[in-house]
Amino acid sequence: MFDGVSNFVNSTDRTFLFTLIVSVFFLVLNTFLMLYFVFKYNRKRHPKGKNIHGNVGLEITWTAIPTILVLILFWFGWQGYEEMVNVPEGAMPINVTAQMWKWSFQYENGRNTDTLYVPVNTPIKLTMHSNDVNHAFFIPAFRIKKDVYPNRERIAWFEAKKTGRYPIACAEYCGLNHSHMYSRIVVLDQKEFDKWNAEFEPKDTVKVNQMDN
């Protein structure tokens, strides 16, 4: 957690950690209170039950606390949502195609790959669509997940902060070989990416060179 591999990691992990702490706290509190009341008000100690007519303070407390917690979680979620939907201007565009059962990536120069190569510290804009059924583009290390549908364009973006190789999966059951629908993202420094990108020669250029020869 909080490894800063992408721009979404810290905010997502912060929200998850807050939710986990609150959940564990109330799990322990409720378990303790349950055991305490079972012991204190068992039949041997209180053979005759007493009617309880309510407590205004308790009613306000157990209404106010969950409301506040829900509003805090909503605020965390809204902040993360705004960050994920607002693509920075000048982000590098890459088209992503999902199909049973692989991912394909197309760059501005026409290059197509089945592995996603990106430069570090550069905003990347993914324009995604599916050729067949519903899929979900998922990079666990980057905290990115976006459903991908046929006949509909979906947009996602990220900025990788560290070089390395990270798995890409499909997080939506899409058929028989869904579990094999894996790829990877390779984050390179800018010089390495430029070198990799320069290795590609568009088909039109190749045809022209062949005609000149």
In sign, the C-alpha dihedral spanning 109, 152, 91, 124 is negative
Which letter, b or e, does each residue of 22-41 get, where b requires 16 or more Cβ atoms within 10 Å of its Cβ? Answer: eeeeeeeeeeeeeeeeeeee
The yes-or-no verdict on residue 129 having pLDDT over 70 is yes
Reported CATH class of domain 9-85: mainly alpha
For residues 99 and 70, what is the distance between their CA atoms, to the nearest angstrom? Answer: 38
Give whole-number Cα distances, 193 to 80, 120, 122, in Å.
Answer: 29, 9, 11
Tokens of 123: 């905003």
Q: Which CATH superfamily is domain 92-205 in?
A: Cupredoxins -  blue copper proteins (2.60.40.420)
* pTM across the whole model: 0.80
Res 92: pLDDT: 95
**What does the pLDDT average to over 157-168?**
95
Give the pLDDT band of residue 47 (cuts 50, 70, 90): confident
Q: Are 168 and 185 in contact (CB under 8 A)?
A: yes
Residues 132-156 pLDDT 10s: 999 999 999 999 999 999 999 999 9
